[in-house]
Amino acid sequence: MQLKKVVAALGASAAMMSGMLVGSGSASAAPGCPDLYVVAIPGTWETGHDKEPGPGMLSGVTNGLPGNTDVDYVTYAATAFPWEGDVYGASKKQAVNSARGLITAKLAACGNTEVALVGYSQGADAAGDLAAEIGTGISRIPQDRVAAVGLISDPRRSPTDIQIGPHAPGAGAGGPRPGGFGWLNDRTRTICAVEDLYCATATDDFVTRFAGFLAQSSDANPANLWRYQLEAGAIMNDLMAHGGVPTLQAQLSDSANQKRAKDLEEFYKSQAHTLYGSYSVGGGHTAITWMHNWIARAV
């Protein structure tokens, strides 16, 4: 009898612990749990700590999703420059942490709910980092609970990411993520307008690539030192393959700086970074309508 009591107690303890773990697969989901939980991360200046998160660019992605779907927008600093209060790296980290917290809480309460992540611009940077964290096994969020990841104008786009629409040259200004999306690669889609310099920086534009690296590491975490070394090393290796220091010096000359300023002015005038609502990706779809359908199919 005593042995039976011990076994029963151990069984009860194990059941309690499994219910506390994210992704335990408990069939006793709380009432009102959705089939799909969508976490959307807005872009720079679309939200902030002093205001409610605005859907902004992603409104067309998340509005009218079918089935039993819940949507939450992430609130974070959404700043890019030090004089705005938070440097880019700190702002993005807030977005990643907030999104991770929302997902962890939802999956702990809802054992049968799956998750979709979607982000635009800095929000895509954050959503992509969290997806990479999950897909490479660093996160406690189970990979099999993530149904879809949609990234629009991802500053860390890799040429090897699955891209929808016309092929954008180069990569994101912040450089590709080491290790990519891991097991989530087949569930991740990225869209980058051909002329959007945030996600389509030329491989031989080393000034922009170094600037992107500095932005990404602007709130450096000692635990990520290995990652910073890999990313800086990738830029240096490409620089050496393209002529080394003289090439970088040429890109920092007065004439090169004047050309860069003119190119940036033309880029901002083109609004290539903000026209995804009308940017065609083929098949009669814009970037926004395609991404809406991609998330909808995950329900």
Inside any domain, residue 24: no
pLDDT given for residue 15 in this prediction: 36
Spatial separation of the C-alpha atoms in residues 98 and 104, rounded to whole Å: 10
pLDDT given for residue 194 in this prediction: 95
pLDDT given for residue 143 in this prediction: 96
The closest of 101, 98, 179 to 133, measured between CA atoms, is 179
pLDDT given for residue 180 in this prediction: 94
Inside any domain, residue 107: yes
pLDDT given for residue 242 in this prediction: 83
Inside any domain, residue 3: no
Inside any domain, residue 181: yes
pLDDT given for residue 26 in this prediction: 38
35-to-63, 101, 113, 140, 296 alpha-carbon distances in Å: 16, 19, 5, 20, 11
pLDDT given for residue 214 in this prediction: 76
DSSP annotation of 201 = B
Please provide residue 171's backbone torsions phi and psi, each rounded to the nearest 5 degrees: -150, 180
Domain coverage including residue 191: 29-202+271-296
Cβ atoms of 273 and 153 within 8 Å: the answer is: yes
How far from chain centre, in Å, is Cα 243?
33
Inside any domain, residue 287: yes
pLDDT given for residue 196 in this prediction: 93
Please provide residue 152's backbone torsions phi and psi, each rounded to the nearest 5 degrees: -120, 120
Inside any domain, residue 228: no
Inside any domain, residue 151: yes
* Below-50 pLDDT ranges, the chain: 1-29, 83
Structural domains in the chain (count):
1
Which CATH number covers residue 37? Answer: 3.40.50.1820
pLDDT given for residue 1 in this prediction: 37
115 beta partners: 37, 146
Spatial separation of the C-alpha atoms in residues 22 and 140, rounded to whole Å: 7
